[in-house]
Structure 1
Amino acid sequence: MTKNQRLVYIALLAAQAAIIGLIERSIPSPFFFAPGAKLGLSNIITCMALYTLSVKDASKVVLVRLILAALLGGTLSTFIYSASGALLSFLGMLLIKKMSFLSISLIGVSVTGAVLHNIGQLVIASWIAQTWTVMLYLPVLSSIGILTGFAIGIAANYLLTHVDQLHYYMYLKSN
């Protein structure tokens, strides 16, 4: 992949993640019993970035997505919560992915990311509220995170298979 192709791919992934995030914000939460819980559909793109790009480039996708989402429809507080969750999630997903001796699938990486995203946001909420009682919400969010992380992992795994086939086809066509 040339430098220009890589930059376009990073930009496309970041734009897709930002648009998916904006669309998801406009959809009412299916988790009526858990205020603030979301499906985390833009994490499909984060998984794609982790498995198709270098760590440096994947982190660019996450950073640009956060900035775009904040500029297009967020506030400073939503940016802080999103950034804390995304940073912890990304680092945890990267760590689990790098532990190749554990043979954890993309689905396991996605579940890790979903749970850590919730932890990151609750830590910031605890810090802002200046009480750790906010963390009592963690079991509820973690349960939802496990379910949504599993579903996101399945979707990302499906897309990754097809993107790899597309890369192979593009390689054959260019040679």
Structure 2
Amino acid sequence: MTKNQRLVYIALLASQAVIISLVERAIPSPFFFAPGAKLGLANIITCMAIYTLPVKDASKVVLIRLILATLLGGTISTLLYSGAGAILSFIAMLTIKKLRFLNISLIGVSATGAVFHNIGQLVVASWIAQTWAVMLYLPVLSLIGILTGIAIGITANYLLNHIEKLHYYMNLQAL
């Protein structure tokens, strides 16, 4: 894959993640017992980026999504919450993926990312509210995060199996 093709692939993933983020923002929270909890559908694209691109390029996808989704429909607080969650979950997912001896699947990596996304957002909420009491919400969000992370991981795994059939995919991580 040429450099231009790789840039187009990064732009394609980032644009898909932005669209999914904006659509998900328009959907009411499906969890009545956990106000503010979302499905995290854009993490399908993050998982795809982690498994198909080098770390540097996958991080570009995440950062572009954060910036564009905020510019197109967010606020500064949205950027703080989303940024903390996305960066922490991205680091956690990369770390778990690199620990090959644990033999953790994409589904496990996704669930880990979902939990760490919640931790990142709650740390920001604690900082803004000036109290650690916000962290009491973590068990509820962790349970939801694990369940949605599994669903996102299954979806990303399905997509990854299909994208592997593309000829140029094999050269993505080599660049």
Of all paired residues, the percent bearing the same amino acid is 80
CA–CA distance in 2 between the matches of 1:169 and 1:130?
47
Note if contact 2:126-2:132 (Cα within 8 Å) is conserved in structure 1.
yes
- Structure 1 position 167, deviation (Å): 3.4
Alignment of structure 1 residues 1-175 onto 2, 5 Å: 1-167=1-167
Note if contact 2:97-2:104 (Cα within 8 Å) is conserved in structure 1.
yes
Structure 1 spans left out of the alignment, 5+ residues: none
TM-score (norm 2): 0.95
Q: Per-residue displacement from partner, 1:69-105 (whole Å, max 9, x unpaired)?
A: 0010000100110000000000000000000010000
TM-score (norm 1): 0.95
CA–CA distance in 2 between the matches of 1:48 and 1:137?
29
Cα root mean square deviation, aligned? 1.3
Could you say if the C-alpha distance between residues 124 and 54 of structure 1 is closer, same or farther in structure 2, counting changes exceeding 3 Å?
same
What is the aligned residue count?
Answer: 171
Could you say if the C-alpha distance between residues 76 and 161 of structure 1 is closer, same or farther in structure 2, counting changes exceeding 3 Å?
same
CA–CA distance in 1 between the matches of 2:169 and 2:59?
26
- Structure 1 position 169, deviation (Å): 8.7
Structure 1 runs of 4+ off > 6 angstroms? none
- Structure 1 position 168, deviation (Å): 5.6
Q: Which has the higher contact order (CA 8 A, sep 6+)?
A: 2
- Structure 1 position 107, deviation (Å): 0.2
Structure 2 spans left out of the alignment, 5+ residues: none
